[in-house]
Chains A and B, each alone.
Chain A
Amino acid sequence: MAENFQITEEMQALVGWESAPWDFEVTATSVRAFARGVGYTDLVYYDVEAAKAAGYRDLPAPPSYLGTAIFIPGRSDEYLPFPPGYSPPLDHGLLGLLDGGTETEYFEDICAGDTLTCVNKLASLATKESKGLGTMLIMGTEAAYTNQNGKVAAIQRSQVILY
C-alpha cells in the first residue's frame, strides 16, 4: 500500500512503450486445458470432429483464451501468465496487484494450429484513491496478436491495479 504514490516523469515517459514480439502457439492441448479450467461442456473446444461440424477449421480458442501463459524459467514471472519482457519496465515499487478489467476485440477466428505474434504496449498510466488500498496505480496495456497470415487477429486491452 502506498500513501503518497506519484507517477514520476520517468514512468510517464514509458507510456507508448512496446514489448519485443513473441510467438504464442495456439495448440489443441492448451485450448482443451483452458476450456476445462472454465468448465466448458461444449465439445467444440475438445473434439476436432465436433469443431469441424460446427464450422471451425480446428478447435476454436474460447473467448477470453488469449492471455494464457508463456513460461520461461528464470525469465518469466513465477506466478503470472506473462512471457519474458511482457510487462513495461516500470519502477513503481508497488507489491499489491489486482486485475481491473479486460477487453478483447476479435478480427479473425483463432483456432488450434495458429501461431500468433504478440506485442504488448503500455497504453496509459493513472492514479486513483482507494479508502482501503491507498493510492493505486492504474496501468492500461494493449496487446496486439497478429496471426500467421499477417492479419491482426485480436487486440486485448487490460487494466492492472497496483497498490
Chain B
Amino acid sequence: MAITWEAINEGDLIPELKKCPGVTQLVKYAAGSGDFNPLHHDYNFPQSKAIGSIIVHGRFKYAVIGECVSNWLDHAGRIKKMSCQYRGMDFPDQEITCKGTVVRKFEENGEKLVELSVWTENPEGKNTTPGLVVAAFK
C-alpha cells in the first residue's frame, strides 16, 4: 500500500538506495543528461589524470537522491524542492548509498508536507552529497 502523510513521523528513515555505477553506467548518464565532461569517462583527460581517476557526476548523485525519495513516495506525493551540495568526489565501481530521514512534518497553505534530510555515503561511510527535499502529499 502506498505511503500516506498521516502515517509518517519525524525521525522516520526512508529505505536506502544503493548504486555502484561503473564506467558504462556513467556513459549512460552522460548520454541521458548530455553532460559529456571527459572527467566522467576519460581517464586520459588532464583533470582525470590530476585527480588520479574519473569521478562520478555530481548530478548523478543528485539524481540518485531523487530516485531514492521518489521510490519512497511511490507516486503518493511529489517532490516540491530538492537540493544538494557536492562535497566529496565519488569514484566508479564504488558503492554509493543514498539515505534519508524525515526532519519535519507540517502543513502550509493547505498542503501536507514533509522535509527530509538526504545524503549519499561512500564505502567509508563519508557523506559526500548532503541535501534537503520537501515533498507534498495529495
- Give the interface of A toward B (CB within 8 A): 30, 33-40, 42, 44, 54-55, 62-64, 67-71, 78-81, 96-106, 109, 157, 159
CB distance from A56 to the nearest CB of B (A): 8
Query: CB-defined interface of B1-39 with A at 8 Å, one 1/0 digit per residue?
Result: 000000000000000000101000100111111111110
Closest to A71 in B: B34
Q: Is the CB of B78 within 8 A of A101?
A: no
Q: Give the chain B neighbours of A106 by CB distance below 8 A.
A: 78-81
Q: Is the CB of A81 within 8 A of B62?
A: no
| Contact residue among B31, B36, B78 (Cβ-Cβ distance under 8 Å from A33) | B31
Q: How far is the CA of A37 from the CA of B59 in the complex (A)?
A: 11
B113 at the interface (CB under 8 A from A): no
Q: How far is the CA of A100 from the CA of B62 in the complex (A)?
A: 11
Interface centre among A36, A54, A102, A157 (most CB of B within 10 A): A102
Q: Is the CB of B34 within 8 A of A63?
A: no
Q: Is the CB of B80 within 8 A of A64?
A: no
Q: Is the CB of A36 within 8 A of B32?
A: yes
How many A-B Cβ pairs are below 8 Å?
111
Q: Give the chain A neighbours of B67 by CB distance below 8 A.
A: 38-40, 42, 62
Q: Give the chain A neighbours of B58 by CB distance below 8 A.
A: 98-99, 101-102
| Contact residue among B34, B64, B80 (Cβ-Cβ distance under 8 Å from A81) | B34
CB distance from A73 to the nearest CB of B (A): 13
Interface centre among B21, B33, B47, B85 (most CB of A within 10 A): B33
Q: Is the CB of B86 within 8 A of A62?
A: no
Q: How far is the CA of A97 from the CA of B55 in the complex (A)?
A: 13
Q: Give the chain A neighbours of B33 by CB distance below 8 A.
A: 34, 37, 67-69, 81
Q: How far is the CA of A71 from the CA of B28 in the complex (A)?
A: 17
Q: Is the CB of A69 within 8 A of B63?
A: no
Q: Is the CB of B69 within 8 A of A44?
A: no
B117 at the interface (CB under 8 A from A): no
